[in-house]
Amino acid sequence: MPPMIQAKNLWKTYGENVVLEGLNVTVEEGEFITMVGTSGCGKSTFLNMLLGTQSCSKGELLLDGQPIPAEPGPDRGIVFQQYSVFPHMTVLENVMAAKAFARKGLTGYLFGSARREAKEEATAILNQVGLSHALNKYPHELSGGMKQRLAIAQALLGKPRILLLDEPFGALDPGIRADMHELVLNLWREHKLTVFMVTHDLKEGFYLGTRLWVFDKLRQDPQAPGAYGASITYDLAVGQMGKKIYEEIDDNLRPVVEVV
Amino acid sequence: MQRMINMAPGRSLNLMLALLPFALLLLLYIVASDARLAENANDKLLPSFAQMGDAVQRMAFEPSKRTGEYLLWVDTASSLTRLGLGVLIAAVLGLLIGMLTGALPMIGAGVSPLLTVISLVPPLALLPVLFIVFGLGELSKVVLIAVGITPFIARDIQRRTEEIPAEQLVKAQTLGANTMQILIRVVLPQLLPKLIDAVRLSLGAGWLFLIAAEAIASTDGLGYRIFLVRRYLSMDVILPYVAWITLLAFLLDIALAWLSRRLFPWNTQGGR
Ligand SMILES: Nc1ncnc2c1ncn2[C@@H]1O[C@H](COP(=O)(O)OP(=O)(O)O)[C@@H](O)[C@H]1O
Ligand SMILES: [Mg+2]
């Protein structure tokens, strides 16, 4: 069987600007990958290629041995840092919409028994993410953390195999983030997901998942910052890493952050 | 001394400041009208409020000698029907064109340039064409209003459609939605409050086209009436009619704002 995700000499360029160069990785079903790297080094770009909203410039990105479809689809769920939920639907409607969109049909509305079933399922998952007290609220009435819980519940009800998270907790208070970590870990285990999560918080990346990727440029040309792209410079199994390597990566990321 | 930029009126002062210009204008009018009437009791330019009251009594509460109708109400009904129909057609067309060109790049590529050019055509210059094509009846007036404001609404809705965050469209796709489902459940509901906003903004133009069309070819309507009595210099009729039209426009606007707040509680920056 081919690995679930395989990148073969993957390049991404925007005109002259090389963003990613020569990525070679494989990912098996059930892994929880966290991705860190300086801002603008191409983490979101890689995630968008998995999502199908961007295509690679050179090389291949395979899902189950086949090129990733060029459009988003129900096998790959996503939670963005913001704008992930529909502002005109209540919490319950937001999640029920996931069930409605999963069916064929022109309008995306549910009726009769399908509606009742969707409501039950939606209520159950909202219970699981801790939103059962806010079923009839609109997103603008929710806190940042509650919005992200909603976005996660919505993505899960789409029954994806892969869950993509692009800095999902970047805008949240540190205290709330710990709760969210626990939530994501529980859902990952229970729903047997493969997770790709971008984070700007190295600690989060170090301790949350099963595998950490550090995106960085191997070569730098100060005269032409776009001449070389980033690739994965560290690919580590979480749990086997000590304090020393943490500090090493931290040092690699920090100085560039301060310049930006 | 506080800076001017930091000084704000309190509640009652605010009300007073708001009413003051109206009171001043009223006073100015009364003084000027009295002065002219004292000089020449038959002066028509600035009728007294008593004269205007008589005119309103005649137009609104006494049957017309010629037709037996209560003219103000007949005029109001005809004008509002024309305006309502024209705006309704423009809203539906504008919503459809704006949504489809904004959400579907293939349609946008074909229609947007045309829309831009059409929106530059002065609608009133088309009025003769409409009269020739649709005749002098109701249809051409309704069409003028629709033609006049559809491009504005369509372009506004197109921009609003493009402003919907791409994240939402991607999210819907990751939940399995097809294009039709995205249009109907994600895009359209978010455009409806924007449509009400666009209609509110275009009502002023709607009134303009209505009155212009009624002035040129009509047998009733608010615009028809004021242009008709202009021949007799009947300021005592014209001024109350203008005030009445202004009041109608104001009521329409706040009714739409109320409707928007009522129907779309999730739309946090709408309905004001
Ligand atoms: N649509 C685009 N067109 C041109 N350049 C882009 C586009 N999207 C991203 N880039 C560039 O690609 C680089 C990587 O962006 P991104 O993947 O968003 O970085 P990050 O690691 O912060 O998520 C940035 O330099 C950005 O300017
Ligand atoms: Mg990013």
Instruction: Please write the tens of the pLDDT for every residue from A246-257.
Output: 777 777 776 544
Are residues B77 and B199 located together in one domain of the fold? Answer: yes
Q: Which of A74, A103, A140 sits opposite B174 (nearest CB)?
A: A74
In B, minimum Cα distance to A91 occurs at B266
Ligand 1 lined by A109 (C-beta under 6 Å): no
* pLDDT, position A228: 87
Inter-chain CB proximity A88 and B165 less than 8 Å? no
**Each residue of B41-61: pLDDT tens digit?**
888 899 999 999 999 999 999
Q: How many Cα neighbours within 13 Å face the side chain of A18?
A: 20
Position A259 scores a pLDDT of: 43
Cβ pair B37, B29 in contact under 8 A: no
Q: B31 and B71 share a domain?
A: no
Does residue A185 surpass a pLDDT of 50? yes
Q: What's the A56 CA to ligand 2 centre distance in angstroms?
A: 17
- The backbone torsions φ and ψ at residue B73, rounded to the nearest 5 degrees and listed phi first, read -75, -35
Q: B155 and B119 in contact (C-beta within 8 Å)? A: yes
Name the phi and psi angles at A81, rounded to 5. Answer: -65, -35
B36 located within any domain: yes
Please state the rounded mean pLDDT for residues A56-81: 93
Contact between chains at B172 and A101 (C-beta distance less than 8 A): yes
* Chain B CB contacts of A160 below 8 Å: 174
B90 with B21, same domain: the answer is no
A234, A213 contact by CB (below 8 A): yes
Residue B172 with chain A: CB contacts under 8 Å: 86, 97, 101
CA distances from A118 to A27, A93, A121, A181, B217 (A): 33, 10, 5, 27, 58
pTM of the model: 0.89
Residue at B130 is within a domain: yes
User: Does residue A224 have a pLDDT over 90?
Assistant: no
Whether residue B119 is found in the same domain as residue B214:
yes
For position A248, what pLDDT does the model report?
A: 77
Domain boundaries, chain A: 1-75+160-260, 82-159
pLDDT tens profile A101-139: 988 888 888 888 889 999 999 999 999 889 999 999 999
B206 and B258 together in one domain: yes
Compute the distance between CA of residue B93 and CA of residue A227 in angstroms, rounded to an integer. Answer: 49
Q: Is B52 contained in some domain?
A: no
**Can you tell me which atom of ligand 1 is nearest the CA of A42?**
17
* Ligand 1 atom 16, closest CA: A42
Handedness of CA A40, A46, A51, A52 (dihedral sign): positive
Phi, psi of A36 (to 5 degrees): -125, 165
Whether B14 and B82 map to the same domain: the answer is: no
> Rounded to whole angstroms, how far apart are CA atoms A71 and A50?
10
- Shared domain for B65 and B34, answered yes or no, is no
**Residue B54, in any domain of the structure:** no
**Cβ-Cβ contacts under 8 Å for B193 (sequence gap 6 or more):** B260, B263, B264, B267, B270, B271
Q: Do B186 and A86 touch (CB under 8 A)?
A: yes
Count of domains observed in chain B: 2
- Is it the case that residue A260 has pLDDT exceeding 50? no
Shortest distance, CA B8 to any CA of chain A (angstroms): 30
- pLDDT tens-digit map of A147-165: 999 999 999 988 899 999 9
Q: What is the pLDDT of residue A241?
A: 66
pLDDT digits (tens, 9 = 90+) for A5-32: 999 999 999 998 999 998 999 999 999 9
Closest residue CA from atom 1 of ligand 1: A14
Question: Cα(B208)–Cα(B120) distance, rounded to whole angstroms?
Answer: 17
For residue A240, pLDDT beyond 80: no
Name the residue of A11, A41, A78, A201 to mutate for ligand 1: max ligand atoms within 8 A of Cβ. Answer: A41
CA distance B217 to B79: 13
The answer to whether the CB of A217 is under 6 A from ligand 1 is: no
Does residue B100 sit in the same domain as residue B199? yes
Q: Is the CB of A42 under 6 A from ligand 1?
A: yes
Q: Which of B163, B174, B182, B269 is the best mutation test for A, with the most CBs of A within 10 A?
A: B174
d(CA A141, CA A51): 29
Residue A245, pLDDT above cutoff 80: no
The top-level CATH class assigned to A1-75+160-260 is alpha beta
Strands A211-217 and A162-166 turn out to be: unpaired
Edge-to-edge strand order for the sheet containing A76-79?
A66-67, A58-63, A5-14, A17-27, A230-237, A211-217, A32-37, A194-198, A162-166, A76-79
A37 CA to centre of own chain: 14
Contacts of B163 in chain A (CB under 8 A): none
Confidence of residue A179 (pLDDT cuts 50, 70, 90): confident
Q: What is the pLDDT of residues B253-265, one digit of tens each?
A: 999 999 999 999 9
Cβ-based neighbour number of residue B169 at 10 Å: 17
Residue identified by tokens 């892969």 is A162
Span from the CA of B243 to the centroid of ligand 2 (angstroms): 57
Q: What percent of chain A has pLDDT over 70?
A: 96
Long-range contacts of A255-259 (CB under 8 A, 24+ apart): A256/A38, A257/A38, A257/A39
73-92 in chain A: CB under 8 A from chain B: 73-74, 76-78, 80, 82-89
Range of the domain at B29: 10-40
Whether residue B26 sits in one domain with residue B83? no
A63 touches chain B (CB under 8 A): no
Residues of chain B with pLDDT under 50: none
Residue B183 lies in a domain: yes
Let me know whether B35 and B70 are in one domain.
no
Strands A32-37 and A194-198: parallel
C-alpha distances out from residue B154 to A234, B103, B105, B118, B198, Å: 51, 12, 15, 11, 9
- Verify that B199 and B82 share a domain, yes or no: yes
One domain, residues B66 and B31:
no
